[in-house]
Structure 1
Amino acid sequence: MDKNQTGIELMKEGKWEEAAQAFMEAIEAQPNDPVAYINFGNVLTAVGDNERAINFYNKAITLDENATAAYYSKGGVYYDEQNFEEAKNMYETALKKGLETGDNFFMLGMSLAQLGNSRLALPYLQRSTELLEQDAEAHFQYGLCLAREGVIDEAIKVLEEAIELDPQHADALYNLGVAYGYKEDGEKALEMFNRALDVQPDHLLAGNGKKLIEGKDLH
């Protein structure tokens, strides 16, 4: 097993220092291979040393301007720092250079959504659900984005898919309740708010939604 593979296995076990050591040895053995620099950057990101992580991703890009994983990883650092404009740029660059993974489409969509561009986010989030068929969060975020754009029937369908994948997704249940409320289906809305509260009893928004519906029923 090469040093990069060893390091990745150690990362999975949360052994950051040992993983860093393995990647450092990989860099020493092949100083012109961008992969080890990206992997080392990922260890630094995992332990919160974002500034040094960016330096390692940049080094990888210097060695190979088409190192898509380096742009993707840089995007992750910027996203975590809530620098959504830079995150978007990194995910876009990764996409242009051929990184057509579900995760990259998802993060590009999420960055655009965070920047308030739901309409631009939609096709990327939609593509992420096609590639990440079993990912409840991808379906949830796509459904949320559709709802923001007023495409309520489609939003309901996608949010229901999210809940099928993860019946414990309280936010998806809550937003499905909102969507049914928008369609003036109080019964379904109440059912979803109750289900959200079963999963997460302190879900304030679901609690408020429930009170609102039950208040209407009293009048």
Structure 2
Amino acid sequence: MLSGDVDDKSAQAIGKFVGAQAVITGQFIAAGDAYRFRAQSVHVESAVRKTSTRLDVQNTAKLRRLLAALRNSKTVSRAADYGAAENAAPTTAGAFLDKGLLFAGRGEFDTAIAFFTDAIKLDPNYASAYYNRGNAYSGKGDYDRAIADYTQAIKLDPNLASAYNNRGNAYSDKGDYDRAIADYTQAIKIDPNLAFAYYNRGTAYDDKGDYDRAIADLSQAIKLDPNLAFAYNNRGAAYNSKGDYDRAVTDYTQAIKIDTNDARAYNNRGSAYGNRGDYDRAIADYTQAIKLDPNYAFAYNNRGAAYALKSDYDRAIADCTQATKLDPNLAEAYVIRAAAYGSKGDYDQAAADFSKALGIDPNNADAKQMLEIIRRQGR
């Protein structure tokens, strides 16, 4: 059976606050279960333009402090001056946090971690700083440190649902799906509308092979956020694993409607078509996936498998060769290419590829079986 691929995404919100005769332009930055608003520019107008976003904001003490701080700001201009904000030396824990968020957003995780650490030094009870440093460690693939920081953030703020969610992601990345599921469950208890927690728990169940629970959670994620393309993609993968290829195709198609540039959704729909025996449609989808992502080794691998099943061995060999160039450790590509060589009567090359596959994955049953057959036949 051809297998699919899963993915994940993140989002950022950009917005405007509109006050009486003043337009404050800035950026919402995710920081835990809330957003920090980072002002970029302020200017006064005689009337708010029709194209401006209008928000009715409750007149709270926090809002009054925000407006007072902006009125006293020396950087009031019509153009956003990011450079000044970026180069300004932080002096408070909040300022260090903002700096860290800026660099984390660029993927400069080491620099971000240094700023989050400075924020923690100034305020050891700053849950958001631990949480965001955990995100930066996770971005680096340092899941143990990420888990430690999320745990501290939770200790300081037990209702921080996103910290449970992200700690679950770190456990999942370590392959500890039971702990991941426990954390996602806690995140859902705190915030029953957190679509990403359902999505992540569903993906963890899928990784454990519990496809019915995976489908249930991914369905709930879709109910909460109907535009969550990758939830459709991953639910399709669960259906595909259950052998329900028609539902898998339906879900992958919906994922593609939402995001026409999702190479994995095309690859995965191709897998479902291939499992239904519709190799021409499968090849068309793999080709589109490759067009969107020319370095997608798995799509070359799968298209090679589809060509092999159509007895087009030369194209199968060409695709699997490209897959191994992009990912030299993709054992499956060597197995498919070996089978294609064997079908063409090139048993020496087939044996070499089966041996290569076993060197990468000593437990590959297909490679073991086929190599033994070739050796028994004295080829």
Change (3 A) 1:195 1:136: farther
Cα 1:198/1:156, change in 2 over 3 Å: closer
1:35 aligns with 2:162: yes
Alignment partner of 2:294 out of 166, 172, 186: 166
Higher strand share: 2
Q: Separation in 2 of the partners of 1:72 and 1:33?
A: 18
In structure 2, how many angstroms separate the alpha carbons of the residues matched to 1:203 and 1:39? 36
Supply the distance in 2 between the matched residues of 1:112 and 1:159 (Cα, whole angstroms). Answer: 19
Does the C-alpha gap of structure 1 residues 162 and 62 become closer, same or farther in structure 2, counting only changes over 3 Å? same
| Corresponding residue of 1:208 | 339
1:61 and 2:188 aligned: yes
Does residue 1:175 correspond to 2:305, yes or no? yes
Q: Do the aligned partners of 2:177 and 2:208 also contact (CA within 8 Å) in 1?
A: no
Residue of 72, 83, 86 corresponding to 2:213: 86
Q: Return the letter of the residue paired with 2:294.
A: D
* Correspondence for 1:127: 254
Q: For each residue in 1:131-187, what CA deviation from the matched residue of structure 2 results, as whole angstroms up to 9, or x when unmatched? A: 4544443322211212333444433321211233236444223134146x2xxxx6x
Cα distance change, pair 27–159 in 1 and its aligned pair in 2 (3 A): same
Secondary structure at the aligned position of 1:203 is classed as: helix
Aligned to 1:73: 200
- Length-normalised TM-score, structure 2: 0.49
Q: Which runs of 5+ in 1 are unaligned?
A: none
Letter in structure 1 aligned against 2:340: G
- Letter of the 2:145 partner, please give it: E
Secondary structure at the aligned position of 2:222 is classed as helix
Whole-Å separation in 2 of the counterparts to 1:99 and 1:40: 25
Match of 1:53, as an amino acid? Answer: A
Deviation at 1:9, TM superposition (A): 1.0
Aligned equivalents of 2:260, 2:315: Cα separation in 1: 23
CA distance in 1, matches of 2:268, 2:196: 23
Is the contact between residue 72 and residue 104 of structure 1 (CA under 8 Å) also seen in structure 2?
A: yes
1:120 Cα deviation (Å)? Answer: 0.8
Deviations 1:56-91 (A, max 9, x none): 211111112111111111112211111122111111
Structure 2: gaps (5+ residues): 1-96, 98-127, 325-330, 347-379
Higher Cα Rg: structure 1 or 2? 2
Measured in 2, the distance between the counterparts of 1:6 and 1:78 equals 27
Query: What is the total number of aligned residue pairs between the two structures?
Result: 208
Structure 1 range deviating more: 48-57 or 198-207: 198-207
> What displacement does 1:113 show?
0.5
Q: How big is the alpha-carbon RMSD for the aligned residues of Structure 1 and Structure 2?
A: 2.7
2:133 maps to 1:6: yes
Deviates more, 1:132-141 or 1:33-42: 132-141
- Which residue of structure 2 aligns with residue 190 of structure 1? 313
Match of 2:267 in 1: 140
Bigger proportion of residues as helix: 1
In structure 2, the residue matched to 1:114 is: 241
Residue 54 of structure 1 deviates from its aligned partner by 2.0
Q: Percent identity?
A: 21
